[in-house]
Amino acid sequence: MQERKILTIVQFVLVAMLLLPVMACADRQADHDKGASGSKPARVFEENVQYAELFSPVPTNVDKGKVEVVEVFWYGCPHCFHLEPYVEGWNKNKAKDVELVRMPGILGPSWKLYARAFYAAQVLGVTDKLHEALFTAIHEQHRKIRDEDSLVRFVESQGIDPKAFREALNSMAVETKVARAEELGKLYGITGVPALVVGGKYRVLNNGVQSYQEIFDVVDFLVDKVRKEAQGE
């Protein structure tokens, strides 16, 4: 009787050992199937709905092999202010072959002061000190920064040399950058901000998206499209 019990246990153990590889394969297949069905599919967006092709491609200003994403903004625009955290988040996690280029929009004479401010900060290497601070001052603190003197006073409050900033603000280098930004805005067909242009070929249509986050879903879609086109796909 005891021998029969031992024999039964041994048989059970042998059968279990034989079944283990089969069960493991089944688990792996189940995991694979789950991943295939549960993974988020790549979204496809429509031309003239979520994005538009530019009338004519615009040469980019990034190294060969990189995809340029231009963000056109204006410090006085509340939508640009609210988009900024999404820009920052996307920029931190973007692919290595993608480069973000910020460009001030100039849709009227009064927009030029903030464009000059952006490029003066860039020339002095203090963009990190000024960019977010200026947005916050205008839209959260409701500071009236509408002329050169009030701008220079604000810059000084941020620990930036006011004399150096004023000189940069009125320099030929900054004037050249502002003129180029104004020209590019026309080539991109910009009629409002914020605007995002990918690869010098495509512009995101804000009216066709449902959220700030979706703007960058469209950007990523267009980045991939530009990559494939560069490879002749």
41-60 confidence digits (pLDDT tens)? 568 899 999 999 999 999 99
* Mean pLDDT (the chain, rounded): 87
Determine the pLDDT at residue 28.
37
Contact 51, 203 (CB under 8 A): yes
For residues 58 and 33, state if they share a domain: no
pLDDT band, residue 155 (cuts 50/70/90): very high
Percent of the chain residues past pLDDT 70, beyond the cut: 82
Decide if 87 is inside a domain. Answer: yes
Number of independent structural domains in the chain: 2
The pLDDT of 19-36, averaged and rounded, is 38
For residues 21 and 55, state if they share a domain: no
The pLDDT of 162-169, averaged and rounded, is 98
For residues 122 and 16, state if they share a domain: no
For residues 108 and 7, state if they share a domain: no
Separation CA 60–CA 126 (nearest Å): 24
Decide if 216 is inside a domain. Answer: yes
Q: Which residue has the higher pLDDT, 3 or 163?
A: 163
Decide if 34 is inside a domain. Answer: yes
Examine the pLDDT at 37 and tell me if it is beyond 90. no
pLDDT band, residue 232 (cuts 50/70/90): confident
For residues 19 and 64, state if they share a domain: no
Determine the pLDDT at residue 13.
47
For residues 117 and 178, state if they share a domain: yes
For residues 192 and 89, state if they share a domain: yes
Determine the pLDDT at residue 207.
93
Decide if 142 is inside a domain. Answer: yes
Examine the pLDDT at 27 and tell me if it is beyond 80. no
For residues 69 and 15, state if they share a domain: no
Contact 45, 221 (CB under 8 A): yes
On the question of a cis peptide bond just before residue 78, with omega within 30 degrees of 0, the verdict is no
Tokens 């005891």 belong to 2
pTM (two decimals)? 0.81
Decide if 45 is inside a domain. Answer: no
Domain of 3, in residue numbers: 1-39
